[in-house]
Amino acid sequence: MNSSDAIESTGKEILLSYRVRARNTSVDSENKIHDDAVAASYGFRGGLVPGITIYAYMTVPLVERFGLDWLERGSMQVKFHQPFYDGEEVIISGRADADSEPIKVSVTAERSDGTVCATALATIDDQSNWLGEPRLSDYPEASLTEFEFRPEPSRESLVPGTPLGTLTEKFDLPEAALLESLDERLPIYYGSQAVAHPFALLRLSNQTLMSNFKLGPWIHAASDVINQGVVRNGEEVSVRGRIRDRFERKGHQFVVLDVLVVANRDRVVQQVRHTAIYRPRAG
């Protein structure tokens, strides 16, 4: 079940809201942080609802209000502070300053008890290239290691500047099963003119990490996303990346990826700085 409250306008400020029941969309994933028993061994109450699922929920009021303007020319810097668990209500709230240049929207995702689990800053038409110029020449395609021979992540294997093996995927839209799992009802993702859901695009950054390294349980911590365009039915997408950084914080081992999502080998559709805890501290 989901619901969108009325979008209110108070002059300069636009208030956005959305409520949905969280679903653990990755119960069967290779990443066992989404498994109840494994997550409990790290100190969690159960399997974590994926960060990309929470990100998807946070995009709903943005797309409902701004449509293709955000999907083609918008951005979001999202951080995940606390997990959501399957079945919890997710309350998305946003405040947009319609008079700012570019338009800026602060977005939060919280539980019904008021715990803020994720925060984000979104924009529309920000031309500042704050993730750097997305040049294809800086992201050459590279071969993927065979899946069974993926290296385990470590300080030695996660060397900043190292290129990642390139993923390719052809989009068959609309993705009815995906949209149902997200309780997504916005019409822009349905029909003959459907565009790829933001979940499906950011999922590619997760898949790039998992395709290049043999991971144990790991946690999506943050993503900085700049949308450059949309993907439509039948388009082939390549996912190119490199390691930007790796570091330790509070016992967690982090990796940061720079990712470029390219449609039909020549059109950049998304630029991502993707941060993950590849080795969580013991629970």
| Segment 181-205, tens digit of pLDDT | 999 999 999 999 999 999 999 999 9
> For residue 146, what pLDDT band results from cuts at 50, 70 and 90?
very high
Global pTM value = 0.95
- Which residues partner with 16 through β-bridges? 94
Task: Note the pLDDT of residue 276.
Answer: 98
Task: Note the pLDDT of residue 4.
Answer: 58
pLDDT at 8 over 80: no
| Segment 86-140, tens digit of pLDDT | 999 999 999 998 788 899 999 999 999 999 999 999 999 998 989 999 999 999 9
Are the CB atoms for 71 and 230 separated by under 8 Å?
yes
Q: Which residues contact 58 (CB under 8 A, 6 or more apart)?
A: 76, 78, 92, 107, 109, 118, 120
Are the CB atoms for 42 and 280 separated by under 8 Å?
yes
Element (H, E) at 14: strand 13-21
pLDDT at 77 over 50: yes
* Residues above pLDDT 90, as percent of the chain: 90
pLDDT at 283 over 80: no
Q: What is the mean pLDDT of the chain?
A: 94
> For residue 5, what pLDDT band results from cuts at 50, 70 and 90?
low
Average pLDDT over residues 60-77: 97
| Segment 223-277, tens digit of pLDDT | 999 999 999 999 999 999 999 999 999 999 999 999 999 999 999 999 999 999 9
Task: Note the pLDDT of residue 98.
Answer: 76
Query: Left, alpha or beta for 132 (phi > 0: left; psi -120 to 50: alpha)?
Result: left
pLDDT at 7 over 70: no
Task: Note the pLDDT of residue 97.
Answer: 86
Task: Note the pLDDT of residue 212.
Answer: 98
